[in-house]
Structure 1
Amino acid sequence: MYDVDEPDEREELFYNNVREKIIFLLLFVLLLTLSYIIVNKYRKRDNIVVSIRDEDDYTVYKYSLLLCTISLAVSVGAALLLPISIASNEVLSLYPSSYYVQWLNHSLIHGLWSLVFLFSNLSLFIFLPFAYLFNESEGFPGHRKGLKARVYETCTVLLLLAIFVLVLTYLLYTIFYAEQSIFYMLFNLWNNYLPFLYSCISFIGVLMLLLCTPVGFATLFTILSRFMIKPQLQKTTDEEISVLRLEVDCLTRRLDQVSQNNGSSYMSPQPMLAKKEQKMSLPERELWSLTNGKLKNGLADKLLNFQERLDVLEKQRKTSVFRKLFFFPTFMLLLLALTVITVLLVVQNLLLILIGIRALPLNTRQFTLGVSSLSKLGPFGAGLEIVIILYMLVASTVGLYSLPVVSRYRPRIKQTPLTHIVGNCTLLLILSSALPLLCRILGVTDFDLLADYGRIEWLGNFAIVALYNVVFASAATLCLINKFTLAVRKELLSRLKSFWQWVIGRDCSIPRDNSIFSIDNSPMINKKTS
C-alpha cells in the first residue's frame, strides 16, 4: 500500500510545482507587458540612428530601458501583493472544496511574496543602479571605446558602490546588534546583512509614505475638482460668461488696433485704469506698459487664456443637470468617505495597540491561507480593505509627485529622459515595497506579512508603531481640515485686513477682489472732487 501511495504524492507535488511556476510566469509576463506600455508611453523619443557609430548607444539605451521595465513590473507586483492575498483568502474561505480554486493555495501565495521580495532586492540594488551607470558610462580612459569597455566600467563602479553600501550596513548592524560576534556577522551575509539592508530601505519607504499619503489625500480633491464639472448656479455661470465675452471683445479690438499700427505699437487710447493701477497685478500692469511685438504677444496670450476659460464655462452650461448635480458630489463624497474611514481605522488600531488587544505587526505566528475570513464584516470588509489599500496607493503616488522637489521630475508623456525614468522607477519601487508594511502598521488589514517581509524586526518596536499611527492620523486630519477650510480662512483674513485698513483710513473700498464698485469710483465723489 505504501508503494502505491508514494508515487501519487510525488506526482501531486510535481504538478503543484509546475502549476505554480506557470502561474508566476504568466503574472510576470502580464506585469512586464503593462510596464512596457507605460514606459514606452512616457519615454522620450531620442531618435537614435542605428549605425556603426551609434549602435553601442542604442544597445545601452535598449538594455537600460529593459531593466527599468522589469523594475516597474516588480513595483506593480509589490503594490498588488496585499490585495491579491486578501482576495485569495476570502475566495478560499468561501469555497474551500471547490474544484476551480484548488490551485489557489498557501504555497502559491507564499511563493509569490518570496519572489516579489527577491526581485525587489535585485531591482533596487542591481538592476536600477546598473541601468543608470550603464547609460552614463563611456569606458575607462586610455582603452578602446566600445560596448565591452562600458560594461567593464559599469561593473567596476557598481562593485565599488556595493562595497561602500555593505560597509555602511555593517557599521549600522554593529550598532544595533553589538552583542553578536564578528565572525557570525561576517559569515552570515545573506541571512543578516541583506534582510537588514532591506529593512533600512523599507523604513525609508515607510517614512516617505508618511509624508506622501496625507498630502495625496488633499491633492486628490483638487484633481477631482479640476476634471469634474462642479455644480454651479445658472445665473452665476451666465454672469461669468457675459463678463468673459466682454473681456474677449475688448482684447480682440485692442489686438486689432496694435496689429494695424505700423512701426511702433502701443496702446492708444490708454486703458481707463489709472486709478486702479496700484491694485492691478504685476503681470497685468507690465502688459499695458509693453510696446511693439511684446505687446502683441502679451495680448494674444491673454486673449487665449480668456478664450479657454470661456470655453470651459460654455461646456459647463451645456452639461446636463444630472451630471453636474450627481457626478461631482458623488465622487467628492466617495473620496471624503474613504479618507475618513482610513483615519478612523488608524485611530482604532492605535487604541487597540495601546490597550493590548491587538499585537504588533511583526509576524510571530504561523499563518495558513483560507482558514477563515480576516475581516469581521466578511467578504464586504475584505473588499473594503482592498479598496482602501488601492486608494492609499493612488494617494501616495499623487502625493509623491505633489512635493516641491519631486514634482520637477514628474514623468511626462513622450518627454521623460532615461535618467528620469530610472529615478521614477526607484521611487515607485521603494513606495510600493513599503506599502504592505504601511497597511500592517496602520491596521488597515490583519493579513500577516509573509516571506521575509515578516522578518523586519523594527515592526515589533512598540514606540515606532504607536508614534507612526499618531503622526499619520494627525497629518491626514490636518490636511483635510486645511483643504476644506482654506477658502474660508482666506476670505476671513481678507475681510479682517480690509476692516483694519478702513479703521486706519487707508482704504474704504468694499472687500471684494474682483469688484469694480468702490468709494473711489463713486460718481458723486468724482463730481465733488472736480
Structure 2
Amino acid sequence: MEDYEDEPDLNEQIFHNNVREQIIFLLLFLLLYLFSFALLGRFKRRGREDYYSTDEDEVTVYRISTWLCTFSLAVSVGAILLLPISIVSNEVLVNYPNSYYIKWLNSSLIQGLWNYVFIFSNLSLFILLPFAYLFTESEGFFGHRKGLMARVYETFIVLALLGMVVLGMTYVISALIDKDNSSIQTILNLTSYYLPFLYSCISFLGVLILLVCTPLGFVRLFDVVGQFLIKPQFLRDINEEYFACAMEEESLRRRLKHAQNTGKSYVSPAPMSIGLSGPFIEEEYKLPENLLRLRNGELQSGLGARLIAVEERRKTLDKQRQTSSLRRNVVYPVAMLLLLGLTVIAVLLVVQNTLSLLIGIKALPSSSKQFTLGVSSLSKLGPFGAALEIVLIVYLILTSSIGLYTAPCMRRVRPKPKSTPFCLVIGNCALLLIISSALPLLSKILGITNFDLLGDFGSIEWLGNFKIVLLYNLSFAAASTLCVVNKFTAKVRRELYARILVLLELNDPPISISSTPRPSLAKCE
C-alpha cells in the first residue's frame, strides 16, 4: 500500500515541475517579446504601407508580419542570453545548493531553455521570417477575388515552392560534402538529417560572419566609446578655444545673413583675410580659402554647411569646458584601458585554447560530455572567473554587433530610427537571428567559456572537425591582433612615412639650370 501511495506523489511532483518550467519560459518570453516590440517600434518606419494605410487588409498584413518579426527578434535575444543565464545558474547552484528559494533552478530548466531556443530559431529562420516577407509582397493570384485570404494562399504556395528549392539545394550540397549518406532513401529524412544539416550550414555562415565582424568591432568600439566620453585635453586651454570658436561662429552667421539679405551669390570685393579659421580650430572645421569667392549661388550653401560644423565644434568645446577635470582626465583613459584589457584577455584565451587543442588537453566542442548543472564551478577562479567569462561574452556581443553595423558593406542595411523600411526590418531580424544563434558556438570554439553546448547546439557536425576548429582559432587570434595593432600604430606609421618622404626630398640633388641642354640656333630657326 505504501508503494501505491508514493507513486502518485512522484507523478504529481513531475507534473508540477513541468508546469513551473513552462510558466517560467512563458514569463521570460513575454519579457523578451515586449522588449523586442519596443525595439522594432523605435526603428520601424510608419508610412502609407502600414498604419497610415486606408486599406484594412494592408494594415492587418503588416501587423501580422510585425508580430512575426518581433517573435524572431525575441528568439535572437534569448539565444544571446543562453550562455550568461546558464553560467549564472551554475554558479548560484554551486554556492547555494540547499537554498529553498532556488529549488526551481535545475538542469531540466536550463536544458529546456536551450531546446526551445534551438527549435524557435529554426522555426523563425526557415518559416516565420520568409512568410513575413512573402506576406507583405503578396497581392493574391490573378483572376481570384482580392482579399486577405487570397494573400495568405499565395504566401503559403510560394513558401512551399521556396522550401522545395531550398531542400533541393541542401540535398545537392550534402551529396557533394557527404557522399556516403546521400542516397534516394535519405531524401525523406527531413527531420533527422536534412534540417539539422541545413541549420549547421546556417550556423557555420553565422560563425564566419562573426569571424569578420568581431575583430573589426574590437577597433570600432574604441571610436564609439570616444564619441560618448569626453577626451582628455592635456596642454590645451579649453576656454580660449571655446571663445575663438564662438567668434568664428558669429562671423559666419553674420556673413550668411548678409548674403541672404542682399541676395548676392558672392562677396565682392573679397576680404583681404578670410578671418574664419583660427589657430584653435581643427582641420575638419577650417574654412577653405576660396569659400568667399564662390559664385552661382554656392556661397550661401557653403557658409551654411560650415556654420553647422563650427556650431557643433563650439558645443563640443562647451561640453568639455563644463565637464570636471576628474571625469575628463580619468574616465576616458580608464575606459580605453578597460577595453584594451578585455581585448587582450580575449586574444590570450583564444591562444591558450589553440595550444590546448594542439597538445590534446582540451576536447573538441561537439565531443564534450553533457554538463551537469551545479556540480562544480566552470572556472578555476570560482565566481570571479565565471563573472569574467560573462563579461567577455557580453563584450563579444557588443563588438560583433558594432563590427557588423559599422562595416562599409552594411550601410544600406543598417537600421535607422523611425526610418527603416519594413523589408530591411525583416532582413535585420534574420541577420541578427543567424549571428545570435552562432554566438554560443563562437564562445565555445574560442574557449571563452567551459560551459558545454546543451541540446541540439552540441550536435552540429562541423564542431567535431579538428581542422576547422583549429583554423578558426588561428584566424580569429591573428585578425584580432592585427586589427588592434593597426588601430594604435596607424598614426605613428603615417608620421614615419611622411618623415621618410621629407628626408628623401631633402637628399635629392637640386637640378642645375646650367646643366640643362640648350637648343641650338639652327633648330630654333
TM-score of the pair, normalised by structure 1: 0.89
Q: What's the counterpart of residue 362 of structure 2?
A: 358
Structure 2 residue aligned with 1:123: 124
One-letter amino acid matched to 1:465: V
User: Superposed, which structure 2 residues align to 1:126-525 within 5 Å?
Assistant: 126-180=127-181, 182-233=183-234, 235-262=236-263, 265-270=266-271, 272=273, 284=288, 287-291=291-295, 293-504=297-508
Partners of 1:259 and 1:265 within 8 A in 2 = no
Moved more, 339-348 or 316-325: 316-325
Pairwise CA distance, 1:50:
7.1
Is 2:83 the counterpart of 1:79?
A: no
Distance in 2, Cα, partners of 1:207 & 1:319: 42
Change in CA separation of 1:50 and 1:474 when aligned onto 2, cut-off 3 Å: closer
Q: Counterpart amino acid of 1:58?
A: V
Return the letter of the residue paired with 1:59.
T
| 1:301-359 residue CA offsets vs partner (Å, 9 max, x unmatched) | 21221121012112202210111122111111111111111001000000011000010
Cα deviation per residue 1:353-384 (whole Å; 9 max; x = unaligned)?
Answer: 10000101114423211111111111110111
Distance 1:484 1:327, change over 3 A: same
- Taking structure 1 as reference, are residues 455 and 225 closer, same or farther at Cα in structure 2, changes over 3 Å only? same
**Which 10-residue stretch deviates more, 467-476 or 131-140?**
131-140
- Classify 1:209/1:151 alpha carbon distance in 2 versus 1 (closer, same or farther; 3 Å): same
Q: Distance in 2 between matches of 1:286 and 1:410?
A: 36
- SS of equivalent residue, structure 2 residue 165: helix
Question: In 1, distance between residues paired with 2:38 and 2:376?
Answer: 38
Does structure 2 conserve the Cα–Cα contact (< 8 Å) formed by 1:129 and 1:158?
yes
Gaps of 5+ in 1: 507-530
1:236 shift after superposition:
4.4
Deviations along 1:471-524, one digit per CA (max 9) or x if unpaired, are: 000111111111111222222233333444455599xxxxxxxxxxxxxxxxxx
Distance 1:363 1:14 in 2: 33
Preserved CA contact (<8 Å) 2:75 2:120: yes
Shift of 1:2: 1.4
- The whole-number CA distance in structure 1 between the counterparts of 2:445 and 2:16 is 37
Q: SS in structure 1 opposite 2:224? A: helix
Structure 1, residues 391-434: CA drift from partner, whole Å, max 9, x if none?
10111000000111212221111111111100111111000000
> What is the TM-score of this pair, normalised by structure 2?
0.90
Using the alignment, how far apart are the partners of 2:235 and 2:435 within structure 1?
A: 44
8 A Cα contact 2:45 2:421, kept in partner: yes
**Percentage of matched positions with identical amino acids:** 55
Question: SS of 2:236's equivalent?
Answer: helix
Query: Secondary structure at the residue paired with 2:489?
Result: helix
CA contact 2:266–2:292 (8 Å) conserved in 1: no
Distance 1:356 1:229, change over 3 A: same
Equivalent-residue separation in structure 1 for 2:342 and 2:133 (angstroms): 38
Query: Do 2:265 and 2:299's aligned partners in 1 also have CA atoms closer than 8 Å?
Result: no
Q: Amino acid of the residue matched to residue 244 of structure 1? A: C
Q: Residue 223 of structure 1 aligns to a residue in which SS? A: helix
- 2:21 corresponds to 1:17: no
AA partner of residue 386 (structure 1): I
Counterpart for residue 518 of structure 1: none
**Letter in structure 1 aligned against 2:267:** Y
Flag the 1:102–1:287 CA change in 2: closer, same or farther, 3 A: same
1:52 CA displacement: 9.8
- Cα 1:457–1:229 change in 2 (3 A) is same
1:141, distance to aligned residue in structure 2 (A): 2.2
More off after superposition, 200-209 vs 92-101: 92-101
8 Å Cα contact 2:141-2:154 kept in structure 1: yes
In structure 1, distance between residues paired with 2:447 and 2:218: 18
Question: Secondary structure of the equivalent of 2:412?
Answer: helix
CA deviation map 1:264-310 (0-9, x unaligned): 5434225547xx9xx99999366344235431122122122112101
For 2:434 and 2:268, how far apart are their aligned partners in 1?
Answer: 56
Q: Which letter does structure 2 place at the counterpart of 1:483?
A: K
State how far apart, in whole Å, the 1-side matches of 2:57 and 2:288 are.
52
Change (3 A) 1:194 1:286: farther
* Separation (CA, whole Å) in 1 of partners of 2:32 and 2:273: 62
Q: Secondary structure at the match of 1:467?
A: helix
Q: Aligned residue for 2:56?
A: 55
Aligned counterparts of 2:118 and 2:177: Cα–Cα separation in 1: 23
Residues 81 and 457 (structure 1), Cα distance of their counterparts in 2 relative to 1, 3 Å cut: same
TM-fit CA distance, 1:252? 3.6
User: Which residue does the alignment assign to 1:70?
Assistant: 71
What's the offset of the Cα at 1:458? 0.7
Taking the aligned partners of 2:50 and 2:183, their CA distance within structure 1 comes to 54
AA aligned to 2:252 is: L
CA distance in 2, matches of 1:32, 1:70: 6
2-structure distance, mates of 1:32, 1:292: 55
* Distance 1:298-1:360 versus aligned 2 partners, 3 A rule: same
2 CA distance for matches of 1:372 and 1:151?
Answer: 52
What amino acid sits opposite 2:136 in the alignment?
N
- Are the equivalent residues in 2 in contact too, given 1:448–1:454 (CA < 8 A)? yes
CA contact (8 A) 2:368 2:452 kept: no
CA contact (8 A) 1:231 1:328 kept: yes
